[in-house]
């Protein structure tokens, strides 16, 4: 484990959750995210990685356990309250409004706090020129990589402290995925802490400070990302290497 002394920015403890009362997808999960960190959550299909993010974002209520942001409990609150507190969630699929323009999508990204929205949109266009070029196009006309960038940019409209990314590279060509990981790292360097769930385990560990491995709704391993990426057991089981 890395040396963790400060109170984490975001922490989840003993989370139990599922889509129905009887089915527990998360059986007991811990997660902590320090300010300024990228944490990657990897693991096989069905391990509950996406469910974990949905619980943190408030889309799914946990049946047990807690989520704290800066020491304040946020579990059980509604998605828009959690979003207003500075935790922005980017779903894996259907994460844009397809018939609305790129610009309108960004406006909707900042819906809870429309003040200064114009300046924020201009800043995003300056940062992501491909989005600026397509500002008047419907989001459904974007390529897969551009759509993921738009989805992240929408989340940035609320100037979040924490960004939760659910498999951002899913379905992208390798070049687009690489560009996306660069973008994630750049956003982090601006001071946004990021928890990212990924199938693409090696790349996810390469950009992360720390990693968590989840198996069957529980934590399996955790530690500095570089260590996990080198560990022969981890490589064999999760990375196919």
Partner 1 sequence: MPELLQLLVNGLMAGTVLAVPAIGFTAIYAVLRFPNFALASHATIGAFGGYVANTAGGLPAWAAVAVAFAVAGLVGVLSDTLVLRPLRPAGAITTAIAAVALNIALENVVRFVFGNDHRGYDLPLQRDWQVAAIRVGPQQFQNLLIALVAMAALFLFLAFTRTGKAMRAVADNPTLANVKGVDADRVGRLVNFVGMGLAGVGGMLLGLDTSIDPLTGFRVILSVFAAAVVGGLGSIPGAVVGALTIGVAEELSLVALAPAYRTAVGFVAILFVLTLRPRGILGERAY
Q: Which residues, 6+ apart, have CB-to-CB distance to 217 below 8 Å? A: 24, 25, 26, 27, 28, 29, 47, 48
Q: Does 80 bind partner 1 (CB under 8 A)?
A: yes
How big is the chain, counted in residues?
A: 241
Rounded Cα distance between 175 and 232, Å, is: 27
Q: Binder to partner 1 among 6, 45, 99, 232 (CB under 8 A)?
A: 99
- Distance of alpha carbon 145 from alpha carbon 223, whole angstroms: 29
With CB under 8 A, what is the number of residues at the site for partner 1? 23
Closer by beta carbon to partner 1, 109 or else 145 = 109
For residue 151, the minimal CB distance to partner 1 (Å) is 9
Among 62, 86, 109, 168, binds partner 1 (CB under 8 A): 109
Considering only residues 30, 104, 178, 231, which one is a binding residue for partner 1 as defined by CB under 8 A?
104
CB of 213 to partner 1, least distance (A): 27
Nearest-angstrom CA–CA distance, 39 and 219: 14
> Considering the rule CB under 8 A, would residue 114 count as an interface residue with partner 1?
yes
Rg of the chain over CA atoms, in angstroms? 17
Are 233 and 218 contacting, i.e. CB atoms less than 8 angstroms apart?
A: no
> Is 5 or 115 the residue whose CB approaches partner 1 more closely?
115
Work out which of 4, 84, 126, 186 binds partner 1, going by CB under 8 A.
84
Give the C-alpha separation, 223 to 206, whole Å.
13
- Provide, for the chain, the percentages of residues in helix, strand and coil under a 3-state DSSP scheme, each rounded to the nearest 5: 40, 25, 40
Calpha distance 56→175 (Å, rounded): 30
Binders of partner 1 among 130-169, rule CB under 8 A?
154
Q: The dihedral of CA 85, 58, 41, 108: what is its sign?
A: negative
Question: Could you say which of 21, 94, 136, 240 contacts partner 1 (CB under 8 A)?
Answer: 94
Spatial contact of 88 and 164, defined as CB atoms under 8 Å apart:
yes
CB of 224 to partner 1, least distance (A): 31
According to CB under 8 A, which residues from 170 to 229 bind partner 1? none
CB of 114 to partner 1, least distance (A): 7
Stretch of 37-45, 81-89, 169-177, 179-187 lying at the interface with partner 1 (CB under 8 A): 81-89
85 makes contact with partner 1 (CB under 8 A): no
Q: Is 59 in the site for partner 1 (CB under 8 A)?
A: yes
> Contact residues for partner 1 (CB under 8 A)?
57, 59, 79-80, 83-84, 89, 91, 94-100, 104, 107-109, 111-112, 114, 154
């Amino acid at each position: 484990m890395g040396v963790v002394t400060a109170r984490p920015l975001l922490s989840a403890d003993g989370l139990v959750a599922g889509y129905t009362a009887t089915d527990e997808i998360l059986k007991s999960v811990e997660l902590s995210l320090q300010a300024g960190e990228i944490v990657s959550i990897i693991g096989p299909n069905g391990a509950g990685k996406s469910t974990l993010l949905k619980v943190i974002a408030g889309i799914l209520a946990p049946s047990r356990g807690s989520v704290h942001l800066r020491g304040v409990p946020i579990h059980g609150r509604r998605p828009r309250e959690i979003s207003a507190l500075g935790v922005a969630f980017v779903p894996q699929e259907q994460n844009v409004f397809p018939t609305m323009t790129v610009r309108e999508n960004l406006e909707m990204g900042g819906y809870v706090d429309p003040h200064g929205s114009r300046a924020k949109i201009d800043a995003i266009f300056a940062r992501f020129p491909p989005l600026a070029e397509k500002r008047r196009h419907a989001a459904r006309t974007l390529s897969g990589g551009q759509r993921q960038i738009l989805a992240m940019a929408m989340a940035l409209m609320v100037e979040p402290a924490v960004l939760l990314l659910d498999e951002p590279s899913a379905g992208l060509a390798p070049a687009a995925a690489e560009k996306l990981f660069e973008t994630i790292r750049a956003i982090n360097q601006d001071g946004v802490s990021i928890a990212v769930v990924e199938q693409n385990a090696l790349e996810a560990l390469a950009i992360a400070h720390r990693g968590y491995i989840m198996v069957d709704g529980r934590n399996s391993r955790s530690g500095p990302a570089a260590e996990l990426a080198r560990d022969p057991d981890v490589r064999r089981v999760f990375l196919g290497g």
